[in-house]
């Protein structure tokens, strides 16, 4: 309750008048300044109900002959400011404001005392300020709204939210192009909303063109679901328009075929001391083989004991790269390769538990490489590779061991 009481004369009276609650703050003024002005000019105190009260009754107390003047000033203050609204669809608000507030600035710069407020989701704009200024601002806003309504349109389309990020494109490339090309605004909900609604706003023709393109893009999209790695499933699911799913299936099948073809591997045993020659100065040799044979070549780390060089790519390319690597080794160390025929049923017993027997022969004979054919191939050919003298020694030991196994009646399962 504002109560500016003062030492009154003997004859005082009071009157009660109704003033709209929304106008009370104008009667009060900043920090009560307006009430103080009325008091000083007329000697009449004005009592305003508390802000949390619903009462609209204002009481004036003072000398009877002064009450008329005070009442006139109260009404003048109350009506000096006003609140008005302009009807405008909420979707149009940001266009009314304009880019970086440009449209709104044209009005507020001319009429700075008017406060303009936009409330999200409401189809109206509130204006508050000096009555005359608000009237002018209201007229200008109504003209602006009418103009925009005549030039602007919007459309809402429904597209599965799982497609939204693909419509947006990497770093927004797709959606930014559409916005720029058709001069529209496209509002796509956040992933967390899981909403399928997309809203397009702007020039009527641009809205329709953007709508058409977005729907066409969505129609061409296929959802590809890969199984959870934990399920160890080979099934990949595709969902979408039949024609697009068929195209996508063919593409994936082609990709898988190429990946399988390019994933063939050959492990080539090369004596450790020659690895640096295979690599060449600055990697020149290995790079040349990689490029000319279109393969990937992996050599073991320098501090590794492994002698295996792994070649990956298409089978024919891998074999060509292998032959070139072996040729380098042969040229450097006079390496020879020999095939020895030993019945395949003896191979496992010659290799021994965890390769014990065959490793022993390889170590004793200068580190030659002994290669047995794949189990189940039925081949009797055992390949020995290394310096000529070492290969002969390894061949002799291998045949001796085979004869011993035959004399002992060793079977292929031993």
Element (H, E) at 359: helix 356-364
Give the Cβ contact number of residue 388 at 10 Å: 12
How far, in Å, CA of 108 to CA of 207, rounded?
30
CB 214 within 8 A of CB 157: yes
Token pair belonging to 65: 């002959």
Token pair belonging to 149: 């309504």
Q: Do domains 88-151 and 337-414 have the same CATH topology?
A: yes
User: Considering the domain 13-82, what is its CATH architecture?
Assistant: 2-Layer Sandwich (3.30)
How far, in Å, CA of 50 to CA of 28, rounded?
11
Each residue's pLDDT, cut to its tens digit, for the chain (414 residues) gives: 555 454 444 588 999 999 888 888 888 888 888 899 889 999 989 999 998 899 999 999 999 999 999 999 899 888 888 889 999 998 889 889 988 888 899 999 999 989 999 988 899 999 988 889 999 999 999 999 999 988 889 999 999 888 898 899 889 999 999 999 998 989 999 988 889 999 999 889 999 999 999 998 888 888 788 888 888 888 888 887 788 888 899 999 999 988 888 999 999 998 888 898 899 888 999 999 999 999 999 999 888 888 899 999 999 999 999 999 998 888 787 778 899 999 999 998 888 888 888 989 998 887 788 999 988 888 999 999 888 889 999 999 999 999 988 887 655 444
CB 225 within 8 A of CB 237: yes
CB neighbour list of residue 330: distance below 8 Å, 6 or more residues apart: 336
Token pair belonging to 51: 């802000």
Give the residue from 325, 315, 341, 231 showing the smallest Cα distance to 285. 325
What CATH class does 337-414 carry? Answer: alpha beta
In CATH terms, the superfamily for domain 88-151 is K Homology domain, type 1 (3.30.1370.10)
- Cα torsion 341, 347, 353, 356 to 10°: value is 0
Q: Does domain 154-221 have CATH number 3.30.1370.10?
A: yes
User: Considering the domain 262-333, what is its CATH architecture?
Assistant: 2-Layer Sandwich (3.30)
CB 92 within 8 A of CB 144: no
pLDDT of residue 228: 84
200 burial class (0-12, 13-18, 19+ CB within 10 angstroms)? buried
Give the Cβ contact number of residue 147 at 10 Å: 11
DSSP designation for 121: T
| Domain range list for the chain | 13-82, 88-151, 154-221, 225-252, 262-333, 337-414
């Amino acid at each position: 309750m504002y109560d500016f009481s003062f030492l009154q004369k003997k004859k005082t009276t009071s009157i009660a008048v109704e003033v709209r609650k929304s106008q009370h703050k104008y009667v009060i003024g900043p920090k009560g300044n307006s009430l103080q002005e009325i008091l000083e000019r007329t000697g009449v105190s004005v009592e305003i109900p508390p802000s949390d009260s619903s009462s609209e009754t204002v009481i004036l107390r003072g000398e009877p002959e002064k009450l008329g003047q005070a009442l006139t000033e109260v009404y003048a203050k109350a009506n000096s400011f006003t609140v008005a609204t302009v009807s405008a669809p909420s979707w149009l608000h940001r266009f009314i404001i304009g880019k970086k507030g440009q449209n709104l600035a044209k009005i507020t710069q001319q009429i700075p005392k008017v406060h303009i407020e936009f409330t999200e989701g409401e189809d109206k704009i509130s204006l508050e300020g000096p009555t005359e200024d608000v009237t002018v601002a209201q007229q200008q806003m109504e003209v602006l709204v009418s103009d925009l309504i005549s030039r602007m349109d919007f459309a809402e389309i429904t597209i599965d939210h799982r497609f939204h990020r693909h419509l947006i494109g990497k770093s927004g490339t797709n959606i930014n192009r559409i916005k720029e090309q058709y001069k529209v605004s496209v509002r796509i909900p956040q992933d967390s909303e899981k909403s399928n609604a997309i809203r397009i706003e702007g020039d009527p023709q641009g809205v329709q063109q953007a709508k058409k393109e977005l729907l066409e893009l969505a129609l061409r999209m296929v959802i590809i679901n890969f199984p959870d790695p934990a399920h160890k499933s080979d099934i990949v699911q595709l969902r979408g328009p039949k024609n697009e799913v068929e195209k996508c299936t063919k593409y994936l099948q082609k990709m898988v075929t190429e990946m399988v073809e390019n994933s063939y591997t050959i492990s080539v045993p090369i004596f450790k001391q020659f690895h640096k020659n295979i690599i060449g100065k600055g990697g020149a040799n290995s790079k040349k083989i990689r490029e000319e044979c279109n393969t990937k070549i992996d050599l073991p780390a320098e501090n590794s004991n492994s002698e295996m060089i792994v070649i990956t790519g298409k089978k024919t390319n891998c074999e060509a790269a292998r032959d070139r690597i072996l040729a380098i080794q042969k040229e450097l160390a006079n390496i020879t390769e020999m095939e020895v025929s030993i019945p395949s049923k003896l191979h496992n017993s010659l290799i021994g538990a965890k390769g014990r027997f065959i490793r022993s022969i390889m170590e004793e004979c200068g580190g030659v490489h002994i290669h047995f054919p794949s189990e189940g191939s039925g081949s009797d050919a055992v390949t020995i590779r290394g310096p000529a003298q070492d290969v002969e020694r390894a061949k002799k030991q291998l045949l001796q061991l085979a004869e011993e196994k035959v004399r002992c009646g060793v079977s292929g399962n031993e």
